[in-house]
Amino acid sequence: MAEFTQKVDHSMKSLMSKQLPSTTTTLIHRAIVGAPDWWRDAVIYQVYPRSFADSNGDGIGDLPGVTARLDHLVELGVDAIWLSPFYRSPLKDGGYDVADYREVDPLLGTLADVDALLAAAHEQGLRVLVDLVPNHTSSAHGWFQEALASAPGSAARDRYVFRTGRGELGEEPPNNWLSKFGGPAWTRVTEADDSPGEWYLHLFDSSQPDLNWENAQVHAEFEQVLRFWLDRGVDGFRIDVAHGLVKAPELPDWTGRTTTATGRKRRPNVTDEGPMWDQDGVHEILRAWRKVVAEYPGDRVLVAEAWVQPIERLARYVRPDETHQAFNFEFLKTRWSVPRYRAVITESLEANDSVGATTTWVLSNHDVVRHPSRLGLKKAGSFPAGIAATDEQPDEHRGLMRGRAASLLMLGLPGSAYLYQGEELGLPEATALPTEARQDPTFLGTGGNKIGRDGCRVPLPWVADAPALGFSPSGASWLPQPASFARYALDTQLGVPGSTYEMYRAALHLRRVRRLGSGSLAWVVGLAGTKKKKVLAFINRDVMIVMNLGAAAVPITPGCAVLITSRRLGIDAEGRQTIPRDTTVWLRFSS
Ligand code: NOJ
Ligand code: CA
């Protein structure tokens, strides 16, 4: 007989006792009653514009390229897109170094192209989020140029974090902080009289000076930037480095764990700790922005990029008057293990539920090794800061199978989910990019010691038998596409049963019609023929999601119909369908 926690609801109770004898069922998250806010169950697709589609043949993806391919996203079935930065930028960090927050980089298009993209997306029922980069500007930004030309102590310098150095002659950096991209987080400037001068803080590249969020002009400017894009019709913002805007007063030295890798063997930026991250003051800023977006019609949203832990700390970012969503990177970093998945999902739902927020699931983005490749490593699901040709190479097939299983797990969970362009094709990380092609400041800033993120930013393959695999009409591609990408091209997967693309499309459709994103989660333990440590199973509305990570195939629960599977099912001696290793299936209860 099934056991129930106090929280279990009655409709589920009868279902369980009838169809799942001998199981233990624990409800940890209730379904939303009524129609949810759009973002609570949305699937949002991240477009990295430089690598999505090139319209004019210069080998760099651009905004008209995105507009021309929106039909792909509509067909896939996502609710919204998030565009990584397209603003004027020297592109020292893929556009996360903004020189003008109100201008489009000429390589990517024009303001008119943004307007056209917004109009076309809205016409096709897609919402559009854009990136806000408030922690730092580019050193090419007018403000920073003005600061350099101004004297120490000037108003222009106060918009950034300038300090005098330590040591007798100020020759040492003001504190011991390190840049995420390698080396000290401080760079010394030369003053107007040619003397060695103050130092400025940059948590990232030296071309990305940190703004001073104690300065009222900085607050006023970003509010205006938000309004500029809201007035143009964007549906929200992804907030870059939301946890880094405010630093501890007096900028104390940090002797604890540093997240900056100085060599490839070091653990990468698993999470951010220290006096430069997750300070209470950031929440005031997020609250002010929430008020700004709330003034506009149409349920516009904010999503925080905040690499903080534990999950309870992250939940502080999604309190009712702060950001609507925050990426769940603890889920993204989870190793390939049933107990770990069970724990992270439970903790995430409980922490977010405690503040009335949605959990925002994610497996891949432009900063991390693509998830099929992470899952194809011997330590499946480990989290290297890039994979070089000389590193252990992921097992491509196993990684793809696991990646697909992880994606079906994610899409079966209640909450919102973000997809990163190319994951719907099952793209692996490009691990053999030539040194001269690499552009990530992580790679350049560590003398190649840390391989960086170029491998997940390679332009998409659209058509197997076309120049640049359909990415660019001229065949140019700013990062070379590996030959293997032809196998993943969209045209080779369209309409092909069992292809990764068709799996994502079917999953998004099922998720929508069965309202899984606004649904419930009840763990099921003890399904016939399963081991607790090898099989993850839960019920969300009338769907049971089962993920088998064990070597032993698992029988499909009698009376359940298979809705979708991440991998071809097996057949046992009695002719019953079974779930093979590294597979997720969605099952419907028959009633
Ligand atoms: C996070 C962005 O996602 C990443 O690409 C960038 O390098 C840093 N923030 C700095 O802006
Ligand atoms: Ca182009």
Catalytic residue among 193, 194, 250, 295: 295
* Model pLDDT, residue 2: 31
* Model pLDDT, residue 20: 80
Regarding the beta carbon of 203 and ligand 1, being less than 6 Å apart is answered no
* Residue 264 predicted with pLDDT over 60: no
* Residue 5 predicted with pLDDT over 60: no
Average pLDDT estimate for 229-235: 98
Domains and CATH numbers, the chain: 2-30+520-589 (2.60.40), 38-134+215-506 (3.20.20.80), 142-201 (3.90.400.10)
* Model pLDDT, residue 261: 41
Q: Summarize pLDDT for 364-396 with one digit per residue, the tens.
A: 999 999 999 999 999 999 999 999 999 999 999
Q: Cβ-count burial of 273 within 10 angstroms (0-12 exposed, 13-18 middle, 19+ buried)?
A: middle
Six token digits for residue 397: 């097939």
* Residue 263 predicted with pLDDT over 70: no
Per residue in 140-156, is it b (16+ CB within 10 Å) or e — as a string?
A: bbebbeebbebeeeeeb
Catalytic site residue 295? yes
Q: Summarize pLDDT for 197-207 with one digit per residue, the tens.
A: 999 999 999 99
156: β partners: none
* Residue 81 predicted with pLDDT over 50: yes
* Residue 3 predicted with pLDDT over 50: no
Report how far residue 17's alpha carbon sits from residue 232's, in angstroms, rounded to the nearest whole number. 54
Ligand 1 pocket check: which of 101, 367, 369, 444 to mutate, most ligand atoms within 8 Å of Cβ?
367
* Model pLDDT, residue 15: 61
* Residue 260 predicted with pLDDT over 60: no
Average pLDDT estimate for 80-93: 98
Which residue lies with its CA nearest to atom 6 of ligand 1?
Answer: 96
Computed over its alpha carbons, how large is the radius of gyration of the chain? 24
Considering the chain, what is the average pLDDT of its residues? 94
Confidence class for position 8, pLDDT limits 50, 70, 90: very low
* Residue 10 predicted with pLDDT over 90: no
* Model pLDDT, residue 559: 87
Average pLDDT estimate for 6-15: 51
Confidence class for position 255, pLDDT limits 50, 70, 90: confident
Are residues 428 and 394 in contact, defined by beta-carbon separation less than 8 angstroms?
Answer: yes
Share of residues in the chain with pLDDT > 90 (%): 89
Confidence class for position 272, pLDDT limits 50, 70, 90: confident
What protein residues have CB closer than 5 angstroms to ion ligand 2?
54, 56, 58, 60, 62
Catalytic site residue 240? yes
Six token digits for residue 416: 């919102």
Task: Please report, for the chain, how many H helices and E strands are present, in that order.
Answer: 16, 23
* Residue 295 predicted with pLDDT over 80: yes
Which atom of ligand 1 is closest in space to residue 84's alpha carbon?
3
Report how far residue 140's alpha carbon sits from residue 162's, in angstroms, rounded to the nearest whole number. 16
The CA–CA distances, whole Å, from 589 to 474, 489, 520, 529 equal 51, 35, 15, 18
* Model pLDDT, residue 21: 77
Q: Residue 172, CB half-sphere, CA atoms under 13 Å: how many? A: 8
* Residue 446 predicted with pLDDT over 70: yes
Q: Summarize pLDDT for 484-529 with one digit per residue, the tens.
A: 999 999 999 999 999 999 999 999 999 999 999 999 999 999 998 8
206's CB contacts (< 8 A; 6+ apart) are 139, 179, 183, 187
* Model pLDDT, residue 7: 45
101: part of which helix (H) or strand (E)?
strand 100-104
556's CB contacts (< 8 A; 6+ apart) are 562, 569, 576, 577, 578, 579, 585, 587
Confidence class for position 462, pLDDT limits 50, 70, 90: very high
Q: Summarize pLDDT for 141-173 with one digit per residue, the tens.
A: 999 999 999 999 999 999 999 999 999 999 999
* Model pLDDT, residue 182: 87
Lowest average pLDDT, out of 43-47, 269-273, 380-384, 506-510, goes to 269-273
- Greater confidence (44 vs 15) lies with 44
Q: Summarize pLDDT for 103-137 with one digit per residue, the tens.
A: 999 999 999 999 999 999 999 999 999 999 999 99
Regarding the beta carbon of 96 and ligand 1, being less than 6 Å apart is answered yes
